[in-house]
Structure 1
């Protein structure tokens, strides 16, 4: 068994099961137009986000390109794919409401299909796609 190989299982176009640990959906946020102080305020605001349905991780690795990625996660343990999809949906709605209180308008794109795979592969080059 190779512990470097991570499992990647598409559930639908916008949701994957990663390494049998988390269901994952990814939102791409364009921040190029935000000055540093507004980026900091947005980061802090996102960091404060709390939900009973999902966990949120903020990936700022492409900030130099004016992009952040928001990983919306649901633990896999005792969660069926259809339940995870509903929780992800509710979590995204809660996140949208949380962001609505910010004074800035953000351009957001939900990654789907090959985009999610490419994003995940960036951090996990040894991915095994499972159906």
Structure 2
């Protein structure tokens, strides 16, 4: 088994089944213009997010470019694609509501199509794209 190659299956323009482990959507959150204290508060606020529908991972690797990425995940095991879509959609609403309570929250943009592919490929250069 090749542990370096990860499977990438596009479910729709916004959703990917990643490595047969998670259904995944990625949102870009603008953080440019926030000072260090505001970013710390925002990170703490995001870290406190809880949902029965999704898991949330916070990627701050491009903070210097002015944005963070929020990975919305639903485990693949025992989850039908239609159910995952509903859970991800509910999770998007929940994270939007959660961010609305944070004064430092900035514009949120859901990655789709090629932008989503290139984001995932950045961390997984040996993607195996499946139909």
SS in 2 for 1:17: strand
Counterpart of 2:76 in structure 1 is 76
- Structure 2 Cα separation of the partners of residues 116 and 66 of structure 1: 18
Unaligned runs of 5+ in 1: none
1:30 CA displacement = 0.9
- Structure 2 Cα separation of the partners of residues 77 and 4 of structure 1: 21
1:4 CA displacement = 1.2
TM-score by length of 2: 0.97
Deviation digits for residues 57-115 of structure 1, max 9, x if unmatched? 00000011111000000000000111101000001111111111111341111000111
Report the CA distance shift for 1:17/1:59 in structure 2 as closer, same or farther (over 3 A): same
Total equivalences in the alignment = 131
TM-score by length of 1: 0.97
Counterpart of 2:109 in structure 1 is 109
When the two chains are superposed, the root-mean-square deviation of aligned CA atoms in Å is 0.8
Runs of 4+ in 1 over 4 A off after TM superposition: none
SS in 1 for 2:11: strand
